[in-house]
């Protein structure tokens, strides 16, 4: 499911591209996530995927709180296994905790 070789190529190209940019976006993450781990990458992926231009500070606070309450929904394997036939349950978690601007799209893309 996760191609490490392609991920490394992508990361290298992104590093080269952003190397000359001095301003970086600071994305807050839950305290128990170690930077550089697979868990960190997945968290940042979901963070970027669901951020549709809403007020980022509130959004990231909601996302961290959701991670602390529902860590399991940040694991793609768990989500597919658990919510494949029960999307409404996942949609409710997303709507009630993360509050993305477009919850149905967040469900479809997440």
pLDDT, tens digit, 9 for 90 and up, residues 7-24 = 888 888 888 887 777 766
Q: What φ, ψ does residue 97 adopt, rounded to 5°?
A: -115, -50
The model's pTM? 0.56
pLDDT for the residue numbered 89: 92
**The two structure tokens encoding residue 12:** 């290298």
pLDDT for the residue numbered 54: 52
Instruction: Provide the CB-side half-sphere exposure for 57 (13 A, CA).
Output: 0
State how far the Cα of 90 lies from the Cα of 58, in Å rounded to an integer.
Answer: 21
Tens of pLDDT, residues 47-91 = 776 655 556 778 888 889 999 999 998 998 999 999 988 899 999
pLDDT for the residue numbered 102: 72
Q: Alpha helix locations (H) across 19-100?
A: 38-50, 56-69, 76-83, 87-93
Could you tell me if 76 and 42 are in contact, meaning their C-beta atoms sit under 8 angstroms apart?
yes
Sign of CA dihedral 43, 31, 62, 60: negative
pLDDT for the residue numbered 55: 67
pLDDT for the residue numbered 93: 92
C-alpha 35 chain-centroid distance: 14
């Amino acid at each position: 499911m996760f191609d490490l070789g392609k991920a490394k190529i992508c990361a290298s190209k992104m590093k080269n591209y952003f190397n000359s940019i001095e301003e970086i976006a600071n994305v807050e993450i839950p305290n128990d996530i170690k930077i550089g781990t697979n868990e960190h990458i997945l968290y940042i992926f979901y963070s970027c995927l669901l951020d549709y231009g809403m007020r980022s500070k509130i959004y990231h606070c909601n996302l961290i709180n959701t991670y602390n309450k529902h860590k399991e929904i940040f694991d793609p394997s768990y989500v597919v296994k658990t919510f494949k036939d029960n999307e409404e349950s996942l949609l409710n978690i997303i709507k009630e905790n993360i509050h993305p601007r477009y919850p149905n799209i967040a469900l479809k893309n997440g």
